Chains A and B, each alone.
Chain A
Amino acid sequence: MADLTTNFAGIHSPNPFWLASAPPTNTGEQVMRAFDAGWGGAVWKTIGEPITNVSSRYSSIDWNAQRMMGLNNVELISDRPIEVNLREITEVKRRYPRHAVIASLMVESTREAWHQIVKRTEDAGADGLELNFGCPHGMSERGMGAAVGQVPEYTQRITEWVKEVARTPVLVKLTPNVTDIRVIARAARRAGADGLSAINTINSITGIDLSTFAPRPNVDGKSSHGGYCGPAVKPIALNMVQQVMADDVDGPSIPLSGIGGIGNWQDAAEFLLLGCTSVQVCTAVMHYGYRIVQEMIDGLSNWMDANGFATISDLRGKSLAKVTEWKHLNLNYKIVAQIDEALCIGCQLCHIACWDGAHQCIHVDRVSGPGGAKGPINGHVEVHAKPREMGRERIVTTPIPKLDPPRQHIGPYATSLERIPRVDETECVGCNLCSLVCPVDDCITMVERPTGLPPQTWAERSEGSECAPP
């Protein structure tokens, strides 16, 4: 079985699965239950001067009857006294010395306040510190959280203050609510941060109640922008993780704890492949509880075994080299869609997607239609008419058993040939759309059609050209 132990800039944990600073890490009791369930580490719910929260704090986006594709919150940092949180950290570390406890911190932007909280937290026994420069709501209005993380100079200065006294590794948590997350990451690196975590939640309004016209979550008739997280944000998080990890301006990258929509081992593996050293999870636990970590450990371990990865470091960052700028992509690589007729169920979603949403090269013309369709013809289509719905053009009656012949079925496949779309390869641009909408696994595959040309990128093609981009 693969070795999942993790060393994040000197913070050790039995596996790379940490709970993110959030409601699941609000109390010592919760964190201990999480460790019992299998979590390797926990970033404590942000400690600072206690705040008062509003009632009604979360809202979510459902998608196609599935709950919580995205979650939004207007909850602030811990509402519990600093000394209570620190006492519980001590207790947890006493009972779980092998697990990682990282204290998330946020105090007013003075050197004294930061020095004081760092010392108290380390004295309590925390394994590391995570500076919350990312909280996008409420705290930022008071000059903390994202108000710090959106300004590189502030990020650098406060990180420097912390590093002046810190004895444990210091992570800076980055907000995604910036134009270029790398600028903030560089500031943290310049200040001597030992690691980063990204991303914090994204500014959002999840939706509006169409009967009251009030956005959600509703706090006495009004709402405020909240922090968005959950499965919906994973692609954004992956992109920002890649940007930070591939950035070598102002020095080499430092360890990154990946956050954003991670709910299973596959998500986690993706973050690790883009260079993360650990991952943090919140929404999935808020949805299903701590128990989900078992599946994550098991799945990651099995996948690592199957791919010959003995340790997390064996796979970390393996995908980074496979991300490049568009101008370095090969313009002479050509693929086309291929439909496996034996698997096709005849939904024709590829046809209408290609017709209305792409390049009009997937046709339903294998069999001449009742309206006089002529059968397969290749070439550019420019017909100002909507695609035919032949089903509506036929008189049909309920088939009576033993009386009516079975429905007309054409061709050797399970689906009648008249319903199986056909790709006109002369027009296919290889966009993938049909294979994305096809509901059957492996039915539409994109296959390479060698162009006979050597690989050539846009950068190469436009080299020396007068209209080359700067």
Chain B
Amino acid sequence: MELVKNPEIAHRFPDLHPAMDARAAVVEANRCLNCFDAPCMGACPTHIDVPGFIRKIATGNVAGSATTILDANVLGASCARVCPVQVLCEGACVLHGKHQKPIEIGRLQRFATESFYDAGGRLTLRQRPERPERIACIGAGPASLSCAAELRQQGFQVRVIDRRTLPGGLNTYGVAEYKLRAADSLREVEMVRGLGVEFETRDIDAISLASLEREFNAIFLGVGLGAMHRLDIAGADTEGAGLIAEARIIDALKFIAAYKSGAPLSVGRRVVVVGAGNTAIDAACAAKRLGADTVTIVYRRQRENISAFDFEYDHALREGVEFVWSTLPTAIAATNNALTLTCVTVSQDANGQLAPQSGSEFTLDCDTVIPAIGQSPLLDLLSQVRGITMERGRVVINRATGQTANPKYFAGGDCVNGGREVVDAVADGKRAAHGIAAWLTAQPPTHPEVPLG
């Protein structure tokens, strides 16, 4: 897939949160109390010096502000757009304690980084000697980009390897377009490339792993997760088989990647999304914007059990997405020009156990079914990495250094945490870079962090 500029997508997916103009940014920046040991900074997985960059906006030092942000978080521009700030920096803002609106940290961060990039600003390398050690980062998503950038900042030679044509991982292919445009993600990748990071597109298997081990001093696994789970019900494998063009089954990530890549895409009139996580909501809202009349999210448990953030749920309601609770799809059948999703109502006991209720079967007629029930780990690949430990499908690491059971391998991001936010991957990558640097130079890490009590 290549990124194709599609004006229709730009039109249908305008920014969810408008950019701030310079004056508004200065006014907002001046509301900041400039807390000491600020809770917003503590709540940010990458520990951006939030009061510091806000103070620089207030004093007209936008380049300095962006540098403060990017120094701590090289993907500060995309994090400004995609972070669930309500549960991170803005959620921690002390102004809540005064019953005031928290500082709009996300929008201020976006103002600083985008103003900086728009004015031609680039990441600058710290003053340091070049080092001979070579590190391979597998996967070109946020974790690897962050790890690679920090390693370059410390003088190491870094290559990022990804199977996909476009780097950036889920930042490029998987984030709702009204939050982050693919082009913005690619611009950030170019900034990292500008630090001297090499990028390579190829698949990794056991043989290539062996050669990488010989060629590189350390390897960072930032491979993320694999394909989405398939619906394990009758008829769910009928994707593309005998269905008419507009009636189909497509998993949420493929669906999002397709429209974000600018591919011509039509969506059925009636769309059912299965699952109620953040990706499900991204897909549901996208379907709505792409022209679906009705979009229904079907979820087997109740509202209070969904893994999506509250603000995402509220956003889906505003976009006109409907929710059907306590409902489990049991079969999909292709009928004339459409799909019929058979469902059953399920009850939930005190222990959270689900039980289908007999006689509660009903059907939903629709044109598109979008399963969004989580991604499976990349077990095929990870099982070929010698000496690492896996637990529940996740790579086990030392949290402070990112190091796996095989000391040559470090890891971070979704393949370690099972699927969290961009900023978590960036923080993992940065910590791993410190860990790798410390391991290669046999020094204690320069930024030791301890797990939260």
A-side interface residues toward B, CB under 8 Å? 64-66, 344-349, 351-352, 364, 370, 387-403, 408, 414-415, 419, 439-440
Contacts A395-B451, A403-B307 hold; do A440 and B98 have CB atoms under 8 A apart? yes
Does B115 reach chain A (CB closer than 8 Å)?
no
Stretch of B30-38, B241-249, B438-446 contacting A (4+ beta carbons < 8 Å): B30-38
Which residues on the B side are within 8 Å of A65 (C-beta)? 26-27, 29-30, 58
Q: Check B307–A351 contact: CB distance below 8 A.
A: no
Which residues on the A side are within 8 Å of B306 (C-beta)? 401-402
**Cα-based distance from A348 to B88 in the complex (angstroms):** 19
**Cα-based distance from A346 to B427 in the complex (angstroms):** 25
Which residues on the B side are within 8 Å of A396 (C-beta)? 42-45, 452
**Cα-based distance from A34 to B61 in the complex (angstroms):** 42
**Cα-based distance from A469 to B119 in the complex (angstroms):** 62
Tell which of B304, B308, B423 touches A398, judged by Cβ atoms closer than 8 Å. Answer: B423
Q: Check B453–A402 contact: CB distance below 8 A.
A: no
Q: Check B39–A419 contact: CB distance below 8 A.
A: yes
Q: What are 12 contact pairs spanning A and B, CB under 8 A?
A: A364-B37, A387-B36, A389-B37, A390-B37, A391-B43, A395-B400, A397-B45, A397-B427, A398-B83, A401-B306, A401-B307, A414-B97
Which residues on the A side are within 8 Å of B304 (C-beta)? 402
Which residues on the A side are within 8 Å of B84 (C-beta)? 398
Q: Check B36–A349 contact: CB distance below 8 A.
A: yes
Does B178 reach chain A (CB closer than 8 Å)?
no
Q: Check B42–A398 contact: CB distance below 8 A.
A: no
Tell which of A347, A389, A393, A394 touches B94, judged by Cβ atoms closer than 8 Å. Answer: A347
Q: Is the interface of A mostly helix, strand, loop or mixed?
A: loop
Q: Check B58–A351 contact: CB distance below 8 A.
A: no
Q: Check A398–B424 contact: CB distance below 8 A.
A: yes
Tell which of B43, B97, B308 touches A401, judged by Cβ atoms closer than 8 Å. Answer: B308
**Cα-based distance from A399 to B92 in the complex (angstroms):** 12
Q: Check B41–A392 contact: CB distance below 8 A.
A: yes
Does B350 reach chain A (CB closer than 8 Å)?
no
Q: Check B420–A400 contact: CB distance below 8 A.
A: yes
- A141 CB → nearest B CB, Å: 35
Q: Check B307–A394 contact: CB distance below 8 A.
A: no
Tell which of B34, B42, B58 touches A349, judged by Cβ atoms closer than 8 Å. Answer: B34
Does B330 reach chain A (CB closer than 8 Å)?
no
Which residues on the A side are within 8 Å of B44 (C-beta)? 396
- A467 CB → nearest B CB, Å: 41
Q: Check A347–B47 contact: CB distance below 8 A.
A: no
Tell which of B308, B400, B450 touches A370, judged by Cβ atoms closer than 8 Å. Answer: B450
Does B203 reach chain A (CB closer than 8 Å)?
no
Which residues on the B side are within 8 Å of A439 (C-beta)? 33, 98
Does B95 reach chain A (CB closer than 8 Å)?
yes
Tell which of B38, B83, B94, B453 touches A391, judged by Cβ atoms closer than 8 Å. Answer: B38
| A interface footprint on B81-101 (CB within 8 Å = 1, 0 otherwise) | 001100110000011111000
Tell which of A392, A408, A414, A419 touches B47, judged by Cβ atoms closer than 8 Å. Answer: A392
Chain B residue, CB-CB nearest to A440? B98
Q: Check A346–B450 contact: CB distance below 8 A.
A: no
**Cα-based distance from A387 to B45 in the complex (angstroms):** 21
Chain B residue, CB-CB nearest to A389? B37
Which residues on the A side are within 8 Å of B41 (C-beta)? 389, 391-392
- B354 CB → nearest A CB, Å: 15
Q: Check B452–A395 contact: CB distance below 8 A.
A: yes
Does B449 reach chain A (CB closer than 8 Å)?
yes
Tell which of B29, B45, B98, B308 touches A345, judged by Cβ atoms closer than 8 Å. Answer: B98
Which residues on the A side are within 8 Å of B33 (C-beta)? 347, 349, 439
Q: How many residues of B contact A (CB 8 A)?
A: 49
Q: Check A395–B449 contact: CB distance below 8 A.
A: yes
- B277 CB → nearest A CB, Å: 9
**Cα-based distance from A397 to B43 in the complex (angstroms):** 8
Tell which of B35, B96, B417, B449 touches A348, judged by Cβ atoms closer than 8 Å. Answer: B35
Contacts A395-B399, A400-B307, A401-B306 hold; do A351 and B423 have CB atoms under 8 A apart? no
Does B310 reach chain A (CB closer than 8 Å)?
yes
Does B305 reach chain A (CB closer than 8 Å)?
yes
Which residues on the A side are within 8 Å of B420 (C-beta)? 397-398, 400
- B427 CB → nearest A CB, Å: 8
Beyond A396-B43, A398-B45, A402-B304: 12 further Cβ-contacts under 8 Å? Answer: A64-B58, A65-B58, A345-B98, A364-B37, A370-B453, A392-B47, A395-B431, A395-B451, A396-B452, A397-B427, A401-B307, A401-B308
Does B421 reach chain A (CB closer than 8 Å)?
yes
**Cα-based distance from A370 to B453 in the complex (angstroms):** 8
Which residues on the B side are within 8 Å of A394 (C-beta)? 42, 449-453
Which residues on the A side are within 8 Å of B39 (C-beta)? 346, 391, 419
User: Which 9 residue pairs of A and B lie closest in terms of their CB atoms, listed nearest first?
Assistant: A391-B42, A345-B97, A352-B36, A65-B30, A348-B36, A345-B94, A347-B35, A398-B421, A64-B30
**Cα-based distance from A64 to B60 in the complex (angstroms):** 12
Which residues on the B side are within 8 Å of A346 (C-beta)? 35, 39, 94, 97
- A218 CB → nearest B CB, Å: 19
Does B325 reach chain A (CB closer than 8 Å)?
no
**Cα-based distance from A66 to B30 in the complex (angstroms):** 9
**Cα-based distance from A431 to B271 in the complex (angstroms):** 66
Which residues on the A side are within 8 Å of B423 (C-beta)? 398
- Among A66, A397, A399, chain B packs the most CB atoms within 10 A around the CB of A397
| A interface footprint on B398-440 (CB within 8 Å = 1, 0 otherwise) | 0110000000000000000100110110010001000000000
- B166 CB → nearest A CB, Å: 25
Tell which of A351, A390, A401, A440 touches B309, judged by Cβ atoms closer than 8 Å. Answer: A401
Which residues on the A side are within 8 Å of B29 (C-beta)? 65
Q: Check A397–B417 contact: CB distance below 8 A.
A: yes
Which residues on the A side are within 8 Å of B308 (C-beta)? 401
Which residues on the A side are within 8 Å of B35 (C-beta)? 346-349
Which residues on the B side are within 8 Å of A345 (C-beta)? 94-98
- A275 CB → nearest B CB, Å: 36
Which residues on the A side are within 8 Å of B399 (C-beta)? 395
**Cα-based distance from A346 to B43 in the complex (angstroms):** 14
**Cα-based distance from A440 to B400 in the complex (angstroms):** 37
B residues 28-84 near A (Cβ < 8 Å) are: 29-30, 33-39, 41-45, 47, 58, 83-84
- A420 CB → nearest B CB, Å: 11
- A443 CB → nearest B CB, Å: 10
Q: Check B95–A348 contact: CB distance below 8 A.
A: no
**Cα-based distance from A461 to B30 in the complex (angstroms):** 47
- B123 CB → nearest A CB, Å: 21
Which residues on the B side are within 8 Å of A393 (C-beta)? 448-450
Which residues on the A side are within 8 Å of B37 (C-beta)? 348, 364, 387-392
Q: Check A402–B95 contact: CB distance below 8 A.
A: no
Q: Check B449–A401 contact: CB distance below 8 A.
A: no
- A239 CB → nearest B CB, Å: 28
Which residues on the B side are within 8 Å of A348 (C-beta)? 35-37
- A77 CB → nearest B CB, Å: 36
Which residues on the A side are within 8 Å of B431 (C-beta)? 395
Chain A residue, CB-CB nearest to B43? A396
Which residues on the A side are within 8 Å of B96 (C-beta)? 345
- Among A344, A394, A415, chain B packs the most CB atoms within 10 A around the CB of A394
